[in-house]
């Protein structure tokens, strides 16, 4: 149930969905899984000040993590190969 997610995570999900659609992408239809990712992105945003990919280990410094800030540099290659990002 998405009601278990705080409003700020639901708001971030809505922004990610808008941004994805505006860029010609679609979020994964498994909304619950994307909400878990959005929760991780929101945590990293609070922690680091940028949306470090929640599935990767970062350095915790923006300059060193530029390639893994969502949407990361590897998204398009992953989409092409696996039909979804890492
Ligand atoms: S793999 Fe890339 S596009 Fe997917 S959630 Fe992580 S940073 Fe975002």
Q: How far is the CA of 19 from the centre of ligand 1 (A)?
A: 13
Residues with CB under 6 A from ligand 1: 37, 53, 55, 68, 70-72, 74-75, 85-86
Q: Which pTM value belongs to this model? A: 0.92
Q: How far is the CA of 75 from the centre of ligand 1 (A)?
A: 6
* Pair 41, 51: CB distance under 8 Å: yes
pLDDT by 10s per residue, the chain, length 86: 546 999 999 999 999 999 999 999 999 999 999 999 999 999 999 999 999 999 999 999 999 999 999 999 999 999 999 999 99
Ordered by start, the domain boundaries in the chain are: 2-52+62-82
What is the Cβ-side half-sphere exposure of residue 58, based on CA atoms within 13 angstroms? 25
Q: How far apart are CA 81 and CA 86, in angstroms?
A: 11
Q: How far is the CA of 72 from the centre of ligand 1 (A)?
A: 5
């Amino acid at each position: 149930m998405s009601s278990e997610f705080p409003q700020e995570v639901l708001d971030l999900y809505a922004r990610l969905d808008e941004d994805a659609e505006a860029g010609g992408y679609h979020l994964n239809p498994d909304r619950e899984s994307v909400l878990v990712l959005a929760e991780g992105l929101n945590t990293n945003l609070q922690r680091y000040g940028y949306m470090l990919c929640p599935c990767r280990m970062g350095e915790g410094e923006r300059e060193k993590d530029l390639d893994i800030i969502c949407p990361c540099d590897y998204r398009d290659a992953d989409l092409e190969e696996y039909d979804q990002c890492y």
